[in-house]
Structure 1
């Protein structure tokens, strides 16, 4: 009777593990990218109430820190705490760019939450600077630029 594993049995087990890991890793990376984009939309969406209060009081928001935003590990530090505010007449846009804390495939993607003059909020993604954008990353409540 033989004790232990033969070399060929160990190699077959390692090959099976390698194949399973090769299939699982891309699926995990896609899931992680989708989750990070959903988190980004949620974090920027938290500022919508503060923008509404300021706009209804006739005040133009100037920085995200004035809205109570303290920053995110996902965003580039562009503007104040990673979120920039663009004001064009009655239209206010909150813009966050996915930075080094996000997956490589979505770095450079810009998340726009835009309030039009009627008070309607739109979620728009600019993916032109993305390294490897896939349409499945887009949250269902958002559209592409």
Structure 2
């Protein structure tokens, strides 16, 4: 099972697709990707899409996740992290473009001059849309209710 926390930690139930809303810590997408890669082994690959590299990075730095600082760049965790791709499409149009261009070499798109960021070696086992509200709200105001809350993760396990 996968988790939003370093192990040992609470596990999520099995899911083919999942929407997590409400407050969660900013390193949750990374822990989710690492625990999935750990569970599925070398064939696993996680893709995290966030609207802003700066906001994503700053939120993780503000959190000061001790486990990430102590363990993410060492041994097995570093190997698991190599199977995580982070992309930062800044607008809904860019997000749509990236999602529409994702493909695996060997498919019918192989001869179309694939870009290395969108042509993945293997199909993603997990796609995480981190904070999708940022694509549709000019500024995320916690008092403003929206269809997809500002602190939402949309996860699809394939």
- TM-score, normalization by structure 1: 0.25
